[in-house]
Amino acid sequence: MSARDTILGRLRERLDGPLAAPACDFSVVTGRGWSHEERLRRFEDKIASVHGEVIHTDHAAWIEALISMLADKDIKRLGLGREHPIAQEARTALADSGIELTDADRDIESWQREQFDSLEAGLTSTRGGIAETGSLWLWPTSDEPRRLSLVPPLHIAVLDADAIEDTFFDVVERHDWAGNMPTNALLISGPSKTADIEQTLAYGVHGPRELVILVRH
Amino acid sequence: MSVETYTPQAFHRQAHDALGNPQIRANFRQAMDGLMGKRRDAFGDWDVETLRELGANIRLRALAKLPDLLEQLEAKCQANGIKVHWAEDGEQACEIIRGLCEARGAKRVIKGKSMVSEEMHLNAHLEAAGIEALESDLGEYLVQLNEQTPSHIIMPAIHLNTDEISDLMHAKTGTERTRDVDYLTAAARQQLRERFMAADVGISGVNFAVAETGTLCLVENEGNGRMTTTVPPVHIAVTGIEKVVEHLRDVAPLYALLTRSATGQHVTTYFNMISGPRKPEEHDGPEEVHLVLVDNGRSAIYQDDELLDTLRCIRCGACMNHCPVYTRVGGHTYGTTYPGPIGSILMPHLQGLEATKDLPSASSLCGACGEVCPVKIPIPDLLVRLRKEAVGEGRGNVAGAGAKRNRSEVLAWKGFQWLATHPGAWRASTGIAGKLRALTPAKLGPWTDYRTAPKPAATSLHALVKRHRRDAKQEGKS
């Protein structure tokens, strides 16, 4: 008999007989009823508490906010997609900026070393935000692959203020994640961190050292 | 730093050594005090009891449907392109993983944190086959450099302080000696990035496996889990069969409970949900994803209604953070993969009670573990049950049941039982004990190492009450 059949057989022929499944009441993880302002405030409080840097801007001015932030941080090489409107707008605006734009929509095998060693920042869109935990949710695509938000030392995420919802449960339910799961779905809440050395918090252990969120109102 | 092998059989000696080590005691005391405070704050504005109730019910529902959910998980994973493997024990699981590595000609494996892989001693198995397995979680990396095992399931290097880590990294990797944690972290980042790029296979654990969607969820802060599951061309996830949940929505409350209970965080940096290998149009991610489902004693625990609760565990470590015994003796003292209260109720099933008979007694039954458990496992009750099993007074369905049975102890209790149920004999014997109290020995084994020996009272409580009643009666008369 295969290991599979042995294990399943043991579980099915349970000594103490079949088990009853209890009902689950999910109301404790939903129904917050926060206003738009309250959501925004909570989102910012939570993500700032784990070193996420929020920059408020709007749909007209976000590119200027991006440019001045890149200048402040002295970023010379930025990785980004090509198809997403955010990437398109950024490409147009940064064309003559002196910042080298690196295509992220390439098979990683052709630029692994480059991505690890010389990419200074990655720009991505986000699907939305979660107020309760100060989280961004991303479903990486072939245009903005998984590692764009992971390998470069700076991750710049663009979030629309209207796309912030109350809880993770609300997001999973309202956007029917169960019916649409992509290869990789991510919640990101701050830059990479560790407290493995005597509980002292240090940022940027494996992933980005900094996370900047451009919130577009 | 000396390399020591710890075993559950030597629990008492190891506990004695740890208690006499001020450095270990200070490291754990400080860490556990911090963690308890953080957990309290993290649940500040929550209805914790309702959330724990939900967490418990989600886990109980998953266990009630366990065989069906495992089949559903397998089917969904396969439909998503994830290959599923089943292992009855750790040895089989190691063989499966070694086979997968060899099929790819893999020589270098990078690992994300996985307690199941610790449980089955995967690293040693792979190394014996000439495959290097490198831990990438910072704590696990340090513990591996130090040729040790984790002393805590969430914070593997919690037993080491900054000076010790600085010395270790200096000796093994040539970094500067410093107390600058940012420098040490950055150095480890640099060392490990090269290893991620060079790795042929990435191996991770799983926090929740979702049957409904065939999704593997990984909870982490560092990003090494995302690296491990995204950079190498092959990703092998290994998990115990009990980690399955029914619906995707089930993970929201469990994740909320896990991070707050474990480290007092309202959320971790990453929640990484993997539902398949890289698709043709995608530009990164592994070409192959495998899921290894490991039983290793779990289906035996599953048989018994009471013991079943052990399988609810979501591996947050809150029970050890709040355990007065764990805090004093540290994680290595237990000599098992999982230390602390959860280890004491889990390891007897994995290793048998012959080896682990002292663990269920390594508790004062204060109840803190049960009160903080995010899925309401009645840990103190299970400790008592395993104590009974250890002395052969339980149902006898735990491996090694009766291993701690001792003839003279059984006789002593039988004698006490007889005396306590025969009032005449009881009064006579307490009377005699009172008269002979001068003969009570001053030393009574370990009990008197730190306490004075108890002496029977000259007059028993029984006799005192009788005298008191008689006196009261006479006063009433006069």
Domain residue ranges of chain A, discontinuous segments joined by +: 35-194+203-216
pLDDT at A31: 96
B95-103 mean pLDDT: 98
- Residue B206 phi, psi (nearest 5): -140, 135
Residue among B54, B185, B272 whose CB faces A205 most closely: B185
Q: What is the CATH classification number for the domain harbouring B76?
A: 3.40.50.10420
Residue B466 belongs to a domain: yes
Contact A3 B92 (CB under 8 A): yes
- Count of the separate structural domains present in chain B: 2
Contact A194 B304 (CB under 8 A): no
What's the mean per-residue pLDDT of chain B?
A: 95
Residues 6+ apart with CB under 8 A from A150: A122, A207, A208, B223, B226, B227, B230
C-alpha distances out from residue B216 to B7, B211, B213, B256, B328, Å: 33, 9, 9, 17, 36
Tell me the fold of A35-194+203-216. Answer: Rossmann fold (3.40.50)
Residue among A145, A190, A193 whose CB faces B283 most closely: A145
A73-82 mean pLDDT: 97
Q: Pick from B278, B296, B314: which residue ends a domain?
A: B296
Enumerate the residues of chain A whose CB falls inside 8 A of the CB of residue B165: 197-198
Enumerate the residues of chain B whose CB falls inside 8 A of the CB of residue A198: 27, 31, 160-162, 165, 181
B60-80 mean pLDDT: 98
Task: For residues B339 and A60, give the distance between their C-alpha atoms in angstroms, rounded to a whole number.
Answer: 56
pLDDT digit string, tens, across residues B346-379: 999 999 999 999 999 999 999 999 999 999 999 9
Give the confidence band of B115 by pLDDT, cuts at 50, 70, 90. Answer: very high
pLDDT digit string, tens, across residues B152-210: 999 999 999 999 999 999 999 999 999 999 999 999 999 999 999 999 999 999 999 99
Q: How far apart are the first and last CA of chain B?
A: 79
Residue B118 belongs to a domain: yes
Query: What is the ipTM for the molecules in this complex?
Result: 0.97
- In three-state form (DSSP H/G/I as H, E/B as E, the rest C), the secondary structure along chain A is CCHHHHHHHHHHCCCCCCCCCCCCCHHHHCCCCCCHHHHHHHHHHHHHHCCEEEEEECCCCHHHHHHHHHHHCCCCEEEECCCCHHHHHHHHHHCCCCCEEEECCCCHHHCHHHHHHCCCEEEEECCEEECCCCEEEECCCCCCCHHHHCCCCEEEEEEEHHHEECCHHHHHHHCCHHHHCCCEEEEECCCCEECCCCCCCEECCCCCCEEEEEEEC
- Minimal Cα–Cα distance from B85 to chain A, Å? 8
pLDDT digit string, tens, across residues A160-169: 999 999 999 9
Enumerate the residues of chain A whose CB falls inside 8 A of the CB of residue B223: 150, 192, 205-208
Instruction: Identify the weakest region by mean pLDDT among B18-27, B287-296, B442-451.
Output: B442-451
Residue among A15, A142, A199 whose CB faces B34 most closely: A199
Residue B198 belongs to a domain: yes
**B431: pLDDT strictly greater than 90:** no
Residue B225 belongs to a domain: yes
- Minimal Cα–Cα distance from A215 to chain B, Å? 19
B102-125 mean pLDDT: 96
Q: Could you tell me if B287 and B421 lie in one domain?
A: no
Residue B33 belongs to a domain: no
Give the confidence band of B478 by pLDDT, cuts at 50, 70, 90. Answer: low
**B320: pLDDT strictly greater than 80:** yes
Give the confidence band of B3 by pLDDT, cuts at 50, 70, 90. Answer: very low
Enumerate the residues of chain A whose CB falls inside 8 A of the CB of residue B182: 202
Enumerate the residues of chain B whose CB falls inside 8 A of the CB of residue A197: 138, 142, 157, 162, 165, 181, 184-185
B448-473 mean pLDDT: 88
Sign of torsion over alpha carbons A83, A89, A92, A93: negative
- Minimal Cα–Cα distance from B48 to chain A, Å? 9
Residues 130-159 of B with CB under 8 A from A: 136-139, 142, 155-158
Residue among A10, A105, A168 whose CB faces B252 most closely: A168
Enumerate the residues of chain A whose CB falls inside 8 A of the CB of residue B155: 195-196, 199
Contact B285 A191 (CB under 8 A): no
Residue B386 belongs to a domain: no
Contact B86 A2 (CB under 8 A): yes
**A193: pLDDT strictly greater than 50:** yes
Residue B423 belongs to a domain: yes
Q: Could you tell me if B279 and B423 lie in one domain?
A: no
Q: Pick from B269, B296, B323: which residue ends a domain?
A: B296
Give the confidence band of B2 by pLDDT, cuts at 50, 70, 90. Answer: very low
Residue B116 belongs to a domain: yes
**A38: pLDDT strictly greater than 80:** yes
pLDDT at B439: 86
Domain that holds residue B78: 43-296
